[in-house]
Amino acid sequence: MTAWSRLRRVNRWLVEDLLEDLADLYVESRETEPREEYRSRSRQDFLNRLAGDIRRPGFAMVIAETDGLVGCAFGFPVRSDGFWWSGFDGELPRSIEQLTESDRAFAITNILVRPHSQDQALARRLQERLLGDHQASLGTTLVDQADHLALCAFRAWGWQDIGENWSPPGAIVFRVLVLPLGERTMARLEGLARHAWTRWPA
């Protein structure tokens, strides 16, 4: 029998109290080298990125708990200042520009789930709760193009690949994924999947 986790939203002040637990969750959820110095660096990099996200206007996090923290998802609304799309390679589709300008897009910057969680649908539930709480019309996220398992999972959940993001230049290449929410948004973005540059990497 699947054990479903309890989901709850936490504000930025509560996140501050959970930093060490969140860092532990990050390390456990990643397949990393066993060397202690690598794990320590990875952990600190995560905390640095999280600290930057927390400062973004509208930052939000949803956590999952059973007898302890087993998952989380967090992000922030995409602003019309162009920050989120700054590393996008090519011309951003007009429909996505319009959704961004109308403050209806929300960026998920991380979804973490403890390995071997009995709640097999937890990652998707976290994503849906975070986007639903913000009544977003469009979800967006960046995924390392070498992470084929994550890309396949997002694709199975209905996310569309719209291109590449180089951020910063010369670093990791990310796939830019979007998730239309609601029939009107789905109709506006329907044509994206037919463009050659939206094909999923092999």
User: Who has greater pLDDT, 169 or 167?
Assistant: 167
pLDDT of residue 199: 44
Give the pTM.
0.84
The DSSP secondary structure of 121-136, one letter per residue, reads THHHHHHHHHHHHTT-
Q: Indicate whether 32 pLDDT > 80.
A: no
d(Cα 122, Cα 95) in Å, to the nearest integer? 30
Strands 105-113 and 138-144: parallel
pLDDT of residue 151: 92
d(Cα 22, Cα 28) in Å, to the nearest integer? 10
* Other CB atoms within 10 Å distance of the CB of residue 3: 11
Q: Indicate whether 1 pLDDT > 60.
A: no
- Please calculate the CA angle 55-173-101 and round it to the nearest 5 degrees: 50
Cis omega before residue 169 (within 30°)?
Answer: no
Q: Which residues pair with 73 in a beta bridge?
A: 62, 111
Both tokens assigned to 191: 């044509």
Q: Indicate whether 117 pLDDT > 80.
A: no
CATH number of residue 50's parent domain: 3.40.630.30
d(Cα 3, Cα 118) in Å, to the nearest integer? 6
From 9-13, 99-103, 112-116, 167-171, the region with the lowest mean pLDDT:
167-171
Range of the domain at 131: 6-198
Mean pLDDT, rounded, for 109-124: 85
Domain presence at residue 1: no
Domain presence at residue 107: yes
pLDDT of residue 116: 74
Q: Indicate whether 190 pLDDT > 80.
A: no
Q: Indicate whether 144 pLDDT > 70.
A: yes
178, 137 contact by CB (below 8 A) = no
Q: How confident is the model at residue 40 (pLDDT cuts 50, 70, 90)?
A: low
Q: What is the pLDDT of the chain when averaged over all its residues?
A: 83
- Structural domain count, the chain: 1
Domain presence at residue 16: yes
